[in-house]
Amino acid sequence: MLSVLVAAALALVLVPPFMADLELGRAIESADAAYLDEAEAHLQRAVAWTPGNATLHRMLGDVYTSMLLFRRPRELYLGKALTAYHEAARLSPQDSLTYTRMGWAHLYGGEAAAAEQAFLQARTLDPNNPYIHYSLGTSHLWQKKLANARTEFEIAQRYYPAAPEIKASLEEVDRLVTAR
- pLDDT, tens digit, 9 for 90 and up, residues 59-72: 999 999 999 999 99
Share above pLDDT 70 across residues of the chain, in percent, rounded to a whole number: 82
Alpha-carbon 69 to chain mean position: 14
Local confidence band at 119 (pLDDT 50, 70, 90 cut-offs): very high
The answer to whether 43 and 56 have CB atoms below 8 angstroms apart is yes
Average pLDDT over residues 17-44: 72
Q: Which residues of 119-138 are buried (b: 16+ CB within 10 A; e: fewer)?
A: bebbbebbeebbebbbbbbb
> CATH second-level architecture of 2-127?
Alpha Horseshoe (1.25)
Residue-level pLDDT at 180? 86
Cα 88 to Cα 96: distance, rounded to the nearest angstrom:
11
For the chain, give the mean pLDDT.
Answer: 88
Nearest to 147 by CA among 155, 157, 137: 137
Cα 141 to Cα 168: distance, rounded to the nearest angstrom:
12
The structure's pTM equals 0.84
Neighbours of 38 (CB within 10 A): 16
Please tell me what DSSP assigns to residue 51. T
Neighbours of 57 (CB within 10 A): 25
Local confidence band at 9 (pLDDT 50, 70, 90 cut-offs): very low
Cα 139 to Cα 103: distance, rounded to the nearest angstrom:
8
Average pLDDT over residues 5-28: 52
Average pLDDT over residues 115-122: 98
3-state secondary structure 63-80: HHHHHHCCCCCHHHHHHH
Nearest to 64 by CA among 88, 87, 83, 47: 83
The answer to whether 135 and 100 have CB atoms below 8 angstroms apart is yes
Exposed / middle / buried, residue 146 (Cβ in 10 Å: 0-12, 13-18, 19+): middle
